[in-house]
């Protein structure tokens, strides 16, 4: 394992898994512009690296991220907020093609919850707490929270969370579909990396196409989404991995992936 940077972000790689650890411990990993810029740059560079097949974003045991940095935002005017265009880095992250897994331990509030939802998969430690408490500090979610919550957990729960600002625990997050798994806090980081390793074992190009196809469900009406999935499915038949994967199944052996 090689560490290439420290605060506000620790960037590591373990085999085919790129690991990005939010690291602003004094402020519960509050997301300031510097952290978001580094996160986007590191994720893009993993995305360009053919050896990296999945990316994991982690925080600390106490906090994934307690939201955007309130101290940084507090004095800003409308003009300053627009001028800074912080969402550019969120958009860069959204365009990464490699699957990104959010491993949420502790608080994932406001922008922290939005960051988890921006990832392709979110898994929670049993101590996780999610919420969109922006109304308690006079704003609303700004990094996609209202839209992604409404799409992933439905209007009723999205309204409940965004209007009351209440926190929900890991079990409730699992029940409503905000996360796909709840894992013990003990050994959590390793368990999340294992999910990354599981993804990394699959046919890499097919994984990226599957991500694109599932995302199409969020971005298009059903008819358009079905068409997008069909086109991506057909395109798999132009890859060596499709030939290898199916042949390996028929020959009862493990596949050797070539496409990345």
Going 244 to 247 to 249 to 253, the CA torsion angle's sign is negative
Please give the torsion angle defined by the CA atoms of residues 139, 219, 153 and 92, in that order, rounded to the nearest 10 degrees. Answer: -50
Least distance between ligand CO8 and beta carbon 100 (Å): 17
- Show the site string, 193-232: x = touches ligand CO8 by CB under 6 A, - = not: ----------------------------------------
The residue from 42, 43, 63, 68 that is catalytic is: 68
Dist. CA 209–CA 17, nearest whole Å: 18
Let me know if 104 is exposed, middle or buried by CB neighbors in 10 A (0-12, 13-18, 19+). buried
Residue 186 catalytic? no
Residue 212 catalytic? no
70 binds ligand CO8 (CB under 6 A): yes
Q: Find the binder of ligand CO8 among 19, 58, 93, 109 (CB under 6 A).
A: 109
Residue whose tokens read 């995305």: 47
CB–CB of 209/203 below 8 Å?
no
68 binds ligand CO8 (CB under 6 A): yes
Angle, helices 111-118 vs 87-94, to 10°: value is: 20
- Show the site string, 20-39: x = touches ligand CO8 by CB under 6 A, - = not: -------xx-x---------
List interacting residues with ligand CO8 (CB under 6 A).
Answer: 27-28, 30, 66-71, 86, 107, 109-111, 133-134, 137, 141-143
What residues are annotated to the active site? Answer: 68, 111, 114, 134
């Amino acid at each position: 394992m090689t560490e290439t940077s420290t605060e506000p972000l620790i960037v590591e790689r373990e085999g085919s898994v790129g690991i990005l650890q939010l690291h602003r411990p004094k402020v519960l990993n509050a997301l300031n512009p510097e952290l978001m810029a580094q996160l986007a740059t590191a994720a893009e560079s993993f995305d360009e690296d053919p050896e990296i097949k999945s990316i994991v974003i982690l925080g600390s045991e106490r906090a994934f991220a307690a939201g955007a940095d309130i101290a940084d935002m507090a004095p800003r005017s409308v003009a300053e907020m627009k001028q800074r265009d912080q969402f550019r880095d969120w958009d860069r992250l959204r365009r990464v093609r490699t699957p990104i897994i959010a491993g949420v331990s502790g608080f994932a509030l406001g922008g922290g919850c939005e960051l988890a939802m921006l990832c392709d998969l979110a898994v929670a430690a049993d101590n996780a707490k999610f919420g969109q408490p922006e109304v308690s500090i006079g704003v609303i979610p700004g990094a996609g929270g209202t839209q992604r919550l409404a799409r992933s957990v439905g209007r009723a729960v999205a309204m409940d969370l965004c209007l009351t600002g209440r926190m929900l625990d890991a079990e409730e997050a699992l029940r409503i579909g905000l996360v796909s798994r709840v894992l013990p806090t003990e050994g959590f980081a390793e368990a999340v990396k294992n999910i990354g390793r599981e993804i990394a074992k699959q046919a890499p190009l097919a994984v990226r196409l599957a991500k694109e196809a599932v995302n199409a469900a969020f971005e298009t009406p059903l008819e358009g989404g079905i068409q997008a999935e069909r086109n991506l499915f057909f395109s798999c038949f132009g890859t060596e991995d499709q030939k290898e994967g199916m042949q390996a199944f028929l020959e009862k052996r493990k596949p050797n992936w070539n496409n990345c």
